[in-house]
Structure 1
């Protein structure tokens, strides 16, 4: 079982960004669980390749969310995966969104 997370190291809680040619304003950044280095995957599951590993105490934007592999982590067990950049996903089980469901639009 791998640890799957993704974080952008920008310090602000909100920032504008461009994802797949669409400008997204005021994207909220959510903290990754304290003490975890999280693998960022190319898709919503551990069978996808690792794109990068996030450092400690980072925050990630969530552009959209999609169902995928079920993962257990510090924030529960879920099949939600958060798209944090183009082609980059982390399990929502490692992202403190304050909610067990969707906090962003569904990917697709």
Structure 2
């Protein structure tokens, strides 16, 4: 009997480790995604942060291709701002677009001032 109990405990232990392993792998992926965002912030002279998920475009207008998105409250590195298509959303209207490493986002969706908290002198 002691052998069976030991074998059963070993099977349960292996199952628990398998579950723990998959959770650890998921956590590692999530951590590396946030680390990648941090690295992009450090690579640029400014940092911006959207207050909601925002589309990233290849140019400063919605007519440009969508090349990705940035999740709400996920900081991203920014280089400069330029004028583009006027966007109205959530009670704000603005034609300022901020250039990130990945592309352009409308400043309407960024925390801070009308330039997404970039200095007014940081034009592209």
TM-score normalized with structure 1 length: 0.66
The answer on 1:29 being equivalent to 2:47 is yes
Aligned-partner Cα distance in 1 for 2:71–2:39 = 13
Provide runs of 4+ in structure 1 moved above 3 Å.
none
Identify the structure with the greater helix proportion: 2
The change in CA–CA distance for 1:106 and 1:76 in structure 2 (over 3 A counts) is: same
Alpha-carbon distance, 1:75 to partner:
7.4
Alpha-carbon distance, 1:53 to partner:
1.6
- Which consecutive unaligned segments of at least 5 residues does structure 1 have? 1-7, 18-23
Deviations 1:25-65 (A, max 9, x none): xx2312211xx221100000000000012223211222011
What is the 5 A alignment of 1:1-108? Answer: 9-10=37-38, 15=42, 17=43, 27-33=45-51, 36-74=52-90, 76-85=92-101, 88-96=103-111, 98-101=112-115, 103=119, 105-107=122-124
Higher RCO (CA-CA < 8 Å; seq separation 6+): 1
- Which consecutive unaligned segments of at least 5 residues does structure 2 have? 1-35
Alpha-carbon distance, 1:70 to partner:
0.3
- Number of residue pairs matched by the alignment: 86
Report SS of the residue matched to 1:62: strand
TM-score normalized with structure 2 length: 0.58
**Contact 1:30-1:95 at 8 Å conserved across structures:** yes
**Contact 1:75-1:95 at 8 Å conserved across structures:** no
Which of 1 and 2 has greater Rg?
2
**Contact 1:75-1:94 at 8 Å conserved across structures:** no
